[in-house]
Amino acid sequence: GFNADQLKEIRLAGWLHDIGKITTPEFVVDKSTKLSTISDGIVTVKTRLELLKRDAEIAFLKEWIGHCLEEGHTEKPDALEGQFQERCRQLDEDGAFLNEINYGGEYLAEDKIDRIGRIARNRWFLNGEEQPLLSEQEVTNLAIRRGTLNNEERKKIENHAAVTLTMLSALPFPKKIKNVPSIAASHHERIDGRGYPRGLSGDQLPLQARIIALADVFEALTAKRPYKSAKKISEVMRIMAMMVKDNHLDRDLFRFFIEEKLFLAYAEENLATDQQDEVDFDFLLDQQ
């Protein structure tokens, strides 16, 4: 077991583990959609699509007027109107598609990435100059396969753990709790060594750090964020069981977490009632 000083280290590390996020831009931390910067860029994209619909209508009306002048009657040619309606329908569908994938709720398959490229090839005019419907940066962001962060933004987010280590290491912790900086900064490390900021693995990760890592994952999955909804406890536990299988979280620690029903005590005190569904304990334990 842990002595009083070690328990204090864990408690302090838990409170301080995300202190490095004070250097991370707020719009990155809370990025709820792929095109978000200071504002959500999907609004700009929708405006461009409306301009394309307007351009299609103008082209249609011009041809109709020309048809009237040439033929001497005012009926709308069916073929011409059909082309216009089809163009508007396609633009509306493209807009709905871009709006949906902008939220990053599901894994983005290859066919959807190809569709983004096709949509981007539409042209619109700004100050008389032809422009692609989507900029290269917008295409890159919309093509994020999972979540809402591009590679540059993800690096900024991941840097917070290194900043936590730097900031806390500069503080004169008493010798008996000197491990607080290392424990706090290890909440994104993985058993298999593929975590960050230091890529620690196996025996390099003390039990205190493994506890912080497990608790951080559990809290993140159960919490509501600008970019995701809060998950039910049964789904959270299934995800964590898979993370154990993938050698991300400590197997023995997760089994203890289940057997002692520690997550239920947290859920009763901190989670919404609709998150507290039934958990299949036997299934979870069989996965270990």
Domain ranges in the chain are: 4-26+155-286, 42-142
The rounded distance, in Å, linking the Cα atoms of 120 and 198 is: 39
User: Which residue is it, tokens 């049964």?
Assistant: 234
Angle (nearest 5°) at CA 218 between 212 and 219? 85
Q: Look at domain 4-26+155-286 and name its CATH class.
A: mainly alpha
- The CA-atom distances, in angstroms, between 161 and each of 32, 191, 201, 208, 247 are 21, 16, 16, 16, 20
Do 68 and 74 form a contact (C-beta atoms < 8 A)? yes
Query: What are the two backbone dihedrals, phi and then psi, of residue 133, each rounded to the nearest 5 degrees?
Result: -60, -40
User: Cβ atoms within 10 A of the Cβ of 81, count?
Assistant: 14
Output the pTM of the full model: 0.76
Ranges of the chain with pLDDT below 70? 38-39, 69, 71-76, 288
Nearest of 120, 118, 143, 114 to residue 133 by alpha carbon? 120
Would you state the pLDDT for residue 12?
Answer: 98
Would you state the pLDDT for residue 288?
Answer: 67
- Reported as half-sphere exposure (CB side, CA atoms, 13 A), residue 59 has a value of 13
Torsion, Cα of 28, 31, 34, 38 (10° steps) = -70
Do 86 and 78 form a contact (C-beta atoms < 8 A)? no
Would you state the pLDDT for residue 74?
Answer: 59
Do 157 and 28 form a contact (C-beta atoms < 8 A)? yes
The rounded distance, in Å, linking the Cα atoms of 127 and 146 is: 36
- The CA-atom distances, in angstroms, between 67 and each of 61, 76, 78, 134, 159 are 10, 9, 12, 34, 63
Tokens of 25: 């831009």
Would you state the pLDDT for residue 43?
Answer: 85
